[in-house]
């Protein structure tokens, strides 16, 4: 199934990726050198719309490449898409289950589009009864969640 363009990862021009990558590397060097970075990280976050902290710049290489970090930073932090359908959610979860290279972005879309805050856990750490479940069953479990107030 094709997804609406607003549900797909937005393209990022190579120049923007290069600019953000260089900025990340500058902050990373400053963190490693023990230099003050609060203002620089604040400017980075203001320019990208994200909420990164010192830890993100000091440790990102353990989980992803510089290009992956820059791509994430260049894209919206909370991509809100109105009126996401069940079929679209099923396609998003299917892509995540299949190991799509854009899994990180699809998880952001999923998180922003459903009320259940632990939706990704149902994919990566399913409870009994959902192990090996197809995308449609996982989406049904996600959509069955109803928040309650204390």
CB-CB contact of 113 with 84 (8 Å): yes
pLDDT of residue 147: 80
pLDDT of residue 19: 98
E strand or H helix that includes residue 44: helix 38-48
Split the chain (150 residues) into runs of 10 and give each run's mean pLDDT. 93 97 98 97 97 96 94 93 95 97 94 92 94 96 86
Dump strand ranges (E) for 23-143.
none
CB-CB contact of 111 with 120 (8 Å): yes
CA dist., res. 49 & res. 67, Å (int): 18
- How long a stretch of residues is the chain? 150
CA dist., res. 124 & res. 120, Å (int): 6
CA dist., res. 37 & res. 19, Å (int): 18
| Sequential DSSP letters for 112-140 | HHSS-TTHHHHHHSPPTT-TT--HHHHHH
pLDDT of residue 78: 87
CB-CB contact of 138 with 123 (8 Å): yes
CA dist., res. 83 & res. 117, Å (int): 18
CA dist., res. 102 & res. 53, Å (int): 23
First CA to last CA distance, the chain = 39
């Amino acid at each position: 199934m094709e997804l609406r363009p607003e549900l797909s990862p937005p393209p990022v021009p190579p120049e923007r990726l290069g600019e953000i990558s260089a900025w990340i590397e500058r902050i990373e060097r400053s963190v490693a050198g023990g230099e003050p970075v609060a203002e620089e990280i604040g400017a980075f976050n203001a320019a990208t719309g994200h909420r990164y902290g010192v830890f993100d710049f000091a440790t990102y290489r353990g989980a992803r490449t510089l290009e992956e970090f820059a791509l994430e930073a260049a894209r919206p932090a909370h991509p809100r898409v109105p009126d996401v359908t069940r079929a679209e959610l099923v396609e998003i979860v299917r892509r995540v289950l299949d190991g799509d290279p854009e899994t990180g972005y699809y998880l952001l879309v999923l998180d922003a589009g459903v009320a259940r805050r632990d939706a990704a856990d149902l994919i990566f750490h399913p409870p009994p009864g959902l192990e090996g479940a197809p995308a449609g069953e996982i989406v049904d479990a996600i959509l069955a969640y109803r928040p309650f107030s204390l």
